[in-house]
Amino acid sequence: MSLYFYVEKMTIEDSEFGKIEITQNDRSRSIRVRILADRLKVTIPVQSKPEDAMKFIHSKRDAILHKQKTAKKKQDHHPTRLDENTGLKTLTFEVRIERKERKDLYFGFKNGILTIEFPVTAEITDDNAQKHIWNGISYFLRKEAKRLLPGRTKQLADKHGFIFRDVKIQPSKSRWGSCSREKSINYSLYLMLLPAHLVDYVVLHELCHTREMNHSDKFWHLMDKVTNNKAYELRKELKKYNMPQ
């Protein structure tokens, strides 16, 4: 049995933030705002009212607008909402979305192109449609990640003298990669959305953690050593990219 209780979602249009989606949750103890490029998703306790959420948002308007501006810049690299006018290139394939006279969503992968066909009458930008589109894209991202990342990790490990245990691919949306004390490396399947040189940066980052489990000066010295003194530059560039939410 679920411990969550949701009431009907309330949506408010705002001239600056875009859509503001407010949902009550009986597990929430405070107002929480999730900032996306084109909207805000707000969770409030059941004893609170939508008016309380709007008051909270307006009290932090400048800070939220600043973070949303940053999210919009990141979206230029990784558009979260896809349609027939939005192209998407991954490390190994290109995504093309087309409207067709059909009744269902179709995915076809051939010659490095993932074609997504959807019905002419469908509203592709709504949340449910986007969820199905990204589920399909994620399926192929995972396949490509499993095909390429273990081998690339071994290549870079051999080149720089690292030892790791294994490589796993996960659907993480919070971090590009991680490394356990047992030297097991985990990558997000969304790593495949990055350009090749940043994929290598993340791989090297996790390999360096097989020796230094923190972000100490020793760690960054090691990162500089394996990136030709470009660790800071690459780290800064990586921050421009985000994962689809």
- On whether both 66 and 16 belong to a single domain, the answer is yes
Q: In the chain, how many domains are there?
A: 3
Answer yes or no: pTM beyond 0.85: no
- On whether both 166 and 134 belong to a single domain, the answer is no
- Domain of 95, in residue numbers: 88-139
* Domain annotation covers residue 244: no
* Domain annotation covers residue 30: yes
CATH of the domain at 215: 3.30.2010.10
CA distances from 119 to 31, 110, 135, 207 (A): 38, 21, 17, 45
Angle at 97 between CA 101 and CA 152, to 5 degrees: 145
Tens digits of per-residue pLDDT, 83-141?
Answer: 888 878 999 999 999 999 998 999 999 999 999 999 988 888 888 888 899 999 999 99
Residue type, 138: S
pLDDT given at position 166: 97
The beta strand positions in 148-227, using DSSP E, are 166-170, 177-179, 184-188
